[in-house]
Structure 1
Amino acid sequence: MDVAIDITEFSYLPAQADALGVPLPPVERIALSLPDGRAVSALRFGTEAPRVTLLHGAGLNAHTWDTTSLALRQPLLAIDLAGHGDSSWRSDADYTPRTLAVDVAAALDAWTEQPQLIVGQSLGGLTGAALAATRPDLVSALVIVDITPGIDVSAGPAALRAFYEGPTDFATRDELVDKAMSLGFGGTRPETERGVFLNTRVRADGRIEWKHHFAHLAAQALAAHDPGSAVAPSVLHETGWDDLAAVRAPITLVRASRGFVSEPDAAELQSRMPEARVVVLDATHNVQETAPAALADLIASTAAGTPTGSGL
């Protein structure tokens, strides 16, 4: 049976908090108008000034962090990157990390009072690196989740390409849930159903479509017989090593044991940045969904300056 559509974006949170055994914090959606007429949207957990900012991966949105945010129990922001969630699509379709980081910086200037522990997964991780390189005043530490600029494009990102390519609309959300689970995204079926619900919308004709721009760009590229030109993984890497080399804040790489970053990928990052910490978690690529408590513990220990976790 398809996921119910007559609920709000926060309807899942009470059950998630109850399952974790934690209180449900105040949560609200906030938005910032940008000078070019676009808007950046985010979720704010808690009432105090945020100390942690979370950046999602390609094709996801701020709600991917919900369970991790509840487990963390700290005031934080989870930002919808441009072209995702409730943030505006870019007319130039430029979703490279350095471009995305400009919007994140504007949001942090408006919504935070102190440098942030930036936690970015996949595309969000390289966006966090670009942010830390260009606006070091905004970043106290950087946690990069299951991505490096040197990742093998024939391995994990091939699954991302398969996820984004194809039709942009579907008869039911179940079709998308099946596709996500077959490619190794998400955790249990109920968790994947929640993620799909929060990342899709119902059109006027009753068809289901993705909220994020990448699926639509991929479909356009396929129609033009150029399947590699607009697929999300192509934006993940181009300037990443330069940005990471420029970061002065402490860096932690989280490698998912069942994710996209291999041991050689992690070793390359550590050889380039000997002071970086590498932690391995038992999770798939979307660590924030398949190992939220462990990731929350790592974020909390990083924020407190007491690193935990296993190495390479």
Structure 2
Amino acid sequence: MTTVTEEFQFLPQDAALVSRSAHLPHVRRKNATVGGLNISTLHWTNEPPQYTFLHGAGLNAHTWDATILGLNRPALAVDLPGHGDSDWREDADYRPITNAAAIGGVLDQLTSGPQILVGQSLGGLSAIAAAHRQPQQVRSLVLVDITPGVQIDPKAPNPVKDFLAGPRQYPSREAIVERALTFGFGPDREAVARGVYLNTRVTPDGQVEFKHHLAHLDLFKLPTHDPLDLWASLQDLTIPVALVYGTQGFLNSSHLTEFQRYLPDAALYPIKGGHNLQEDTPSALTQALKDIERSAL
């Protein structure tokens, strides 16, 4: 069982990644109950959050630690349903439209004003659905390396799905780190080891398994989202929308052209990096978020 102290043991290293010299802010777990599910979050500082962060599939709220430390704003980072310390859904329905209901409940219970909603990958698609569902709770939307047009071909090589389709349990965390490195994940071993530690738990028989539900499911049988529905939701929004994307991420020129066709007034921010910009280049992502915040004022 991970203790609170152990959970936040990596914050000094995270702060160094974004050259933060100020003291570390107070951060704690806060939970919301939505539709019978416990949704766990990390609440940064004692002030009402201005930002709410949503992670990608197979990740958790800690993926944003360095970014939030660099941003230095009161923030809420959510463990999406089926991830981190949040409950798993019995129906294994983790589509954006389903996640949106949980996100809306979190915003209702744990925030006190419209948020800058930042979502990466699955979190970005879920952020679109959440902003459309409860627009009064969102003052601007930032998508990180995702658009509704990104479709994963089940027949094409995909390192994320291939990795998640691996063993359900491992003899040690180090075994997971070694496997992750063979897939090219993370900027270095230390970063991968941190991510694995925060995303796994030790079972009573001493085996190690991922906390998130996706590692225990057949990913090719899960419900999928309708991209046209999400494009329509995105177009309906009247708030500022920005897209931050990695130059080696999921988006290609066709995705970007499509995004600009649907949202010609949205701002685009390219960053040298991969799909998980919040882990690959948190300083650059932090600067982009600050620029976006200033431009929206």
TM over 0.5: yes
Matched, 1:230 2:222: yes
Report the equivalent of 2:193: 193
Residue deviations 1:56-97, cap 9 Å, x none? Answer: 000000000011111111100000000000110001111010
SS of 1:120's partner is: strand
8 A Cα contact 1:185 1:284, kept in partner: no
CA RMSD between the two structures: 2.1
Of 171-180 and 254-263, deviating more is 171-180
Report the equivalent of 1:49: 48
CA distance in 1, matches of 2:16, 2:245: 28
One-letter amino acid of the structure 2 residue matched with residue 264 of structure 1: S
CA distance in 2, matches of 1:210, 1:230: 18
Alignment of 1:282-301 (within 5 A): 282-301=272-291
CA distance in 2, matches of 1:187, 1:197: 16
CA distance in 2, matches of 1:166, 1:188: 21
Alignment of 1:1-312 (within 5 A): 8-18=6-16, 20-22=19-21, 23-36=23-36, 38-154=37-153, 158-218=158-218, 228-230=220-222, 234-235=224-225, 237=227, 239-305=229-295
8 A Cα contact 1:146 1:285, kept in partner: yes
Gaps of 5+ in 2: none
One-letter amino acid of the structure 1 residue matched with residue 8 of structure 2: F
Residue deviations 1:226-260, cap 9 Å, x none? Answer: x62139xx458473222212222111111111111
Q: Flag the 1:216–1:21 CA change in 2: closer, same or farther, 3 A.
A: same
One-letter amino acid of the structure 2 residue matched with residue 294 of structure 1: A
Q: Flag the 1:166–1:241 CA change in 2: closer, same or farther, 3 A.
A: same
One-letter amino acid of the structure 1 residue matched with residue 104 of structure 2: A
SS of 1:100's partner is: helix
Report the equivalent of 1:221: none
Residue 14 of structure 1 and its aligned partner are, at CA, apart by 2.4
SS of 2:220's partner is: coil
Residue 113 of structure 1 and its aligned partner are, at CA, apart by 1.3
Q: Flag the 1:244–1:181 CA change in 2: closer, same or farther, 3 A.
A: farther
8 A Cα contact 2:244 2:288, kept in partner: no
Length-normalised TM-score, structure 2: 0.92
Of 78-87 and 150-159, deviating more is 150-159
CA distance in 1, matches of 2:177, 2:231: 34
One-letter amino acid of the structure 1 residue matched with residue 178 of structure 2: D
Gaps of 5+ in 1: 219-226, 308-312
8 A Cα contact 1:55 1:119, kept in partner: yes
Residue 35 of structure 1 and its aligned partner are, at CA, apart by 4.2
Q: Which runs of 4+ in 1 moved over 6 A?
A: none
Residue deviations 1:240-294, cap 9 Å, x none? Answer: 2222122221111111111111121111111111111111101111000011011
Length-normalised TM-score, structure 1: 0.88
CA distance in 2, matches of 1:176, 1:256: 25
